[in-house]
Amino acid sequence: MENKKQILEGSQAIAAVIRNIKPAVVSAYPITPQTHIVERLAKLKADGETDYEYVRAESEFAAASIVLGASATGVRTYSATSSQGLLLMTEVVFNIAGMRLPVVMTCANRAISAPINIWNDHSDVMVVRDAGWIHLFADTNQEAVDLHILAYKIAEKLHLPVMVNVDGFILTHAFEPVIIPSSEIIKKFLPDYIPEAGHFLNTDSPITLGAFATPANYFEARESLHNDLIDSLTIIKKEYKNLISILGRENKDNGLVEYYGPKKPETIIVAMGSVIGTIREALKNDKKIGILKIKTYRPFPGEEINKILLTAKNIAVVEKAISLGQAGPLFSDIKASLPNNKLNIKNYIVGLGGRDVTQKMIEEIAADAKKIDREKIKFIGKI
């Protein structure tokens, strides 16, 4: 069924495309709602349908450490996690970025404790949004499949790790029509991984990764990582265009953001992840409202976002996360990057802990976004 439309669970689709990307090492620890991805990858290995090394880890910290070590030897790797698992990985997540290792990982986004909650929001990934990884967000399972292929190309070309964020349960456990590109198609865009000299451990040409850095060196290392992340925006756009061409997709976006709606909207609603589908459906008949989907969250594509937002009077940032004591992270990023502080911009926090985001809620947000009031941050959907 490769290269043909089929109905698959999101987790199965992600596992299928990872198999065809052909990593050398896969390591993960099961955690809801990520489990189906790594279970499927383990079964593919057990059934002899793939030849990657599947390493069972005793924790998420160990899984991240295993793919770090494998990547450092110059091979393609993969892992997946969620929620508390990502938090347990945090130290290693920072190390992977600092060591400039091209690790790709799926985050099945889920709320974090306490209280314990296994349903979807974006609280987990926001904890590590500034760790030095590129962060991509999928709206549908087809987009999740495509973004994993893009992630490896970007990671291996730029020596930067990439995290593909997929809403837990809403996408990971949903059955949708998807096309899984064959290994042959993928290879046209993503050739076999051949690490560059000086970027992996080699006994014939020794290097040091993760060295001790004094104040004389650490500052420049972090500046270099920051600058390379900013510069990656151009490469993401270029490679995304190439990928879409090879896959024969009809996407009209640039890999960073995607806009739907009128050229001169009265209001623009900004969001990322699967909630975009609900927003599109709720507002499909409204000719005065535009929808801006953020696909690349880190590095933050502020210039691309501003080109679109500055055409509107009102901006509503809808997100499934809250920076406690401040505002939504996406809202804060957008507000900081906008040159025009006179715009009427509001923040709507929705869906925390898996609370349903309904079309009625989106309609209420669209109506409220036009009002001029002092309350800029609102929690929508409280019972």
Superfamily of domain 5-247 in CATH is: Thiamin diphosphate (ThDP)-binding fold, Pyr/PP domains (3.40.50.970)
pLDDT band at 69 (very low <50, low <70, confident <90, very high): very high
Strand partners, 80: 106
Residue 210 sits at φ, ψ, to 5 deg, of 70, 40
Q: Sheet holding 344-349: strands in order across?
A: 257-260, 289-294, 267-271, 314-319, 344-349, 377-379
Look at residue 340 in the predicted model and tell me its pLDDT: 73
Look at residue 382 in the predicted model and tell me its pLDDT: 87
Place of tokens 């806009």: 259
Instruction: Give start-end residues of each CATH 3.40.50.970 domain in the chain.
Output: 5-247
Orientation of helix 10-21 relative to helix 141-158, angle to 10°: 30
Q: What span, in angstroms and rounded, lies between the C-alpha atoms of 67 and 14? A: 18
Q: At 111, which amino acid appears?
A: A
- Of 47, 199, 36, nearest in space to 106 by CA: 36
Q: What span, in angstroms and rounded, lies between the C-alpha atoms of 82 and 35? A: 9
For the whole model, what pTM was predicted? 0.97
* Tens-digit pLDDT profile for residues 242-264: 999 999 988 779 999 999 999 99
Question: How many beta carbons lie within 10 A of that of residue 246, not counting itself?
Answer: 16
Look at residue 163 in the predicted model and tell me its pLDDT: 99
With beta carbons less than 8 A apart as the criterion, state whether 306 and 338 touch.
yes
Q: What span, in angstroms and rounded, lies between the C-alpha atoms of 165 and 169? A: 12
Instruction: Give start-end residues of each CATH 3.40.50.920 domain in the chain.
Output: 258-379
* Tens-digit pLDDT profile for residues 329-345: 999 999 999 987 778 99
pLDDT above 80: residue 100: yes
**Domain 258-379, what architecture?**
3-Layer(aba) Sandwich (3.40)
348 to 316, 343, 357, 364, 380: CA distances (angstroms) = 7, 16, 11, 11, 6
With beta carbons less than 8 A apart as the criterion, state whether 381 and 357 touch.
yes
Average of per-residue pLDDT across 91-116: 98
